Amino acid sequence: MAEKRVGVEPVAAYDAVCLRSVRGVTEVFSGKWSFLVLEQLHVGTMRFNELQRALGVSTKSLTDTLRHLEENGIVHREARPTVPVTVEYSLTDKARAFDKVLLAMKAWGEEWLDA
């Protein structure tokens, strides 16, 4: 007899389309620094050097991460015509829509990961 799990219904939605979407999300947020950049930018708009100091990340790693997140519509980059040029980064609406997923991940972690 199969074990019945309380509160869990079989989910036929875990098909190829679902898994393809999940794979796409993990590709957008892949990389060691992506979630840490998200965390910092949730506080507010930051300049490159502010992010670099806050994270303790190399220039190349941060540049690559920000470029990847910008290409995927997660981070907005704004260059201001000053001398030297001022570049500021902020989260897009698309990134803020991911908050629901982050909160679900937080809840899962609180329940299932050792503190």
The 10 Å CB-count burial string (b at 16+, else e) for 5-20 is eeeeeeeeeeeeeeee
**Residue 8, CA distances (Å) to 3, 5, 48 in order:** 11, 6, 45
Helix or strand run (H / E) with residue 77: strand 75-80
Does residue 79 have a pLDDT over 90?
yes
Distance CA 41, CA 62 (A): 13
Does residue 10 have a pLDDT over 70?
no
pTM above 0.75, yes or no: yes
Across residues 94-111, what is the average pLDDT? Answer: 93
Q: What is the pLDDT of residue 15?
A: 74
